[in-house]
Amino acid sequence: RDDRPADAYFIARGVDDRHRDTLEAVLERQKLTLVAETDDGLELLGHTTAVERASWESLQRLGRAPSHTIARDADYP
Write the CB contacts of 21 (distance below 8 Å, at least 6 apart in sequence).
Answer: none
Whole-prediction pTM value? Answer: 0.75
From the CB of residue 45, how many other CB atoms can be counted at a distance below 10 Å?
A: 20
- Which structural domain range is residue 77 located in? 48-77
Residues 57 and 37 in one domain: no
**Chain segment 13-72, per-residue pLDDT in tens:** 999 889 889 999 999 999 999 999 988 899 999 999 999 999 999 999 999 999 999 999
In a domain, 2, yes or no: no
Residues 39 and 24 in one domain: yes
Q: Cβ distance 41 to 13 under 8 Å?
A: no
Single-letter amino acid code for the residue at 15: V
